Amino acid sequence: MKYSIHKISKLFTVICFTVVIFNPIYGQSNSQENLLVGVWSFSEAPSIDKMDQDIKDDLAVSTQLQEHITAFYSGRQLMFTNEGAFSILLGTGQRLDGQWSLNTGTLTMLDTSGVTTTYQIGGLDATNLVLIAPTSNDLASRTLFPELYFIKSQ
């Protein structure tokens, strides 16, 4: 087979164009995953600040709700590994393990019991993580924290 310089040049141009176009997309995703790896500690104040006002009002008068937040959220840590494993350490000392993946700004966590939880990444840098919980119009299934704020501790 005989290849002309012109055909080889065109092929080379197509390959270079493909690398230039698709490499930044891969790099951004990989970069976000790399930023996510580590240990994240729950940041209570900004998370409470984003609560719906009616829940804040209940929180102000309900010692039961205050105890719930203290038990399950204060001291909470998220740990993400390079291998795609995660652990959630609750303030109660309970631990939940599973696998995580990140795709186009969506964090999906599948725990060992088969329950999948999905969050949108609202913000992610070297020291801060914001997870946006799925929204619901059903008052009974509304999340306590529509936005969960974390600070990287390791």
Domain boundaries, the chain: 37-152
Determine which of 36-40, 107-111, 124-128, 131-135 has the lowest per-residue pLDDT on average.
131-135
Residues in the chain: 154
130 has which bridge partners?
123, 149
Above 70 in pLDDT, residue 46?
yes
Q: Which residue has the tokens 């186009």?
A: 104
Which CATH number is associated with domain 37-152?
A: 2.40.128
pLDDT greater at residue 107 or residue 51: 107
Q: How far apart are CA 119 and CA 149, in angstroms?
A: 12
Three-state DSSP class for residue 30: helix
Q: What is the mean pLDDT of the chain?
A: 82
Say what the pLDDT of residue 92 is. 85
pLDDT digits over 93-103, tens only?
899 999 999 99
- Provide the 8-state DSSP code for 90: -
Q: How far apart are CA 105 and CA 15, in angstroms?
A: 28
Say what the pLDDT of residue 29 is. 52
The pTM score is 0.74
Cα-Cα-Cα-Cα dihedral sign, residues 96, 101, 105, 106: negative
Say what the pLDDT of residue 20 is. 36
pLDDT digits over 125-154, tens only?
999 999 999 876 666 667 888 999 999 998
Three-state DSSP class for residue 95: strand
